[in-house]
Amino acid sequence: MRYRLICSLSFLCLAPLLACSAWAAHAYALWGEPKLPAGFTHFPYANPDAPKGGELRLVSNLRVSTFDKYNPFTIRGNAPAYLSELMFDTLLSASLDEPATGYGLLAEDVAVAPDGLSATFRLRRAARFHDGKPVLAQDVKYSFDTLVGPYTSPAYKTLMFEVAGVDVLDERTVRFRFKQPNRELPLTVGTLLPVFSRDWGKGKPFDQVVMEPPIASGPYRVGPVNFGKDITYVRDPQYWARDLPVRRGTGNFDRILVKIYKDNTARLEALKAGEFDLMRFFSAGDWARRVNGRKFDSGELVKGEFANSLPTGFQSYVLNTRRPFLQDVRVREALGLAFDFEWMSRQLFYGAYRRVNGIFGNTPCETRGEPSPQELALMEPYRQEIPAAAFGPMTVPPSTDPPSSLRANLRSAQELLRQAGWEVKGGVLRNAQGQAMELEYLDSGETRINTVASWMRNLAKLGITLRFRAVDYALYQQRLQKFDFDITTIAYQGTLNPGQELADLFGSRAADTEDSGNFPGVRSPAVDAMVGAIVGAKSQEGLLPACHALERIIAHGHYLIPQWYGATHRMAYNAWRLQRPDVVPPYSPGELWAIGTWWATPAAKP
Q: What confidence tens digit (pLDDT) does each residue in 475-491 have?
A: 998 999 999 999 999 99
pLDDT greater than 90 at residue 209: yes
| CA distance linking residue 34 with residue 32, whole number of Å | 7
Q: What pLDDT is recorded for position 180? A: 86
Phi and psi at residue 549, to the nearest 5°: -65, -45
pLDDT greater than 50 at residue 2: no
Q: What pLDDT is recorded for position 65? A: 61
Query: Are 233 and 86 in contact, with CB atoms under 8 Å apart?
Result: yes
Q: How big, in percent rounded to 5, are the helix, strand and coil portions of the chain?
A: 30, 20, 50
Q: What pLDDT is recorded for position 497? A: 83
Phi and psi at residue 353, to the nearest 5°: -120, 160
316-565 has which CATH code? 3.10.105.10
**Amino acid symbol at 536:** G
Q: What pLDDT is recorded for position 539? A: 85
In whole angstroms, what separates CA 524 from the centre of its chain?
23
| CA distance linking residue 249 with residue 42, whole number of Å | 7
235's enclosing H/E stretch is: strand 230-235
First-residue to last-residue Cα distance in the chain: 30
532's enclosing H/E stretch is: helix 525-536
| CA distance linking residue 204 with residue 198, whole number of Å | 11
> Edge-to-edge strand order for the sheet containing 173-178?
107-112, 118-123, 173-178, 163-170
120's CB contacts (< 8 A; 6+ apart) are: 20, 110, 111, 112, 113, 169, 173, 174, 175, 176
Q: What pLDDT is recorded for position 446? A: 65
Q: What pLDDT is recorded for position 13? A: 32
Q: What pLDDT is recorded for position 598? A: 97
406-411 long-range Cβ contacts below 8 angstroms, 24+ apart:
406/340, 406/343, 406/458, 409/337, 409/338, 409/340, 410/337, 410/338, 410/458, 410/461, 410/462
| CA distance linking residue 116 with residue 127, whole number of Å | 27
Q: What pLDDT is recorded for position 16? A: 30
Instruction: Choose between 538 and 424: higher pLDDT.
Output: 424
Q: Please count the other Cβ atoms lying within 10 Å of the Cβ belonging to residue 120.
A: 21
Question: What are the residue ranges spanned by the domains of the chain?
Answer: 2-256+569-600, 316-565
Question: Could you tell me the fold of the domain covering 2-256+569-600?
Answer: D-Maltodextrin-Binding Protein; domain 2 (3.40.190)
If you average pLDDT over every residue of the chain, what do you get? 91
CATH topology match: 2-256+569-600 vs 316-565 = no
In whole angstroms, what separates CA 551 from the centre of its chain?
18
pLDDT greater than 90 at residue 438: yes
Q: What confidence tens digit (pLDDT) does each residue in 342-363 have?
A: 999 999 988 889 999 999 999 9
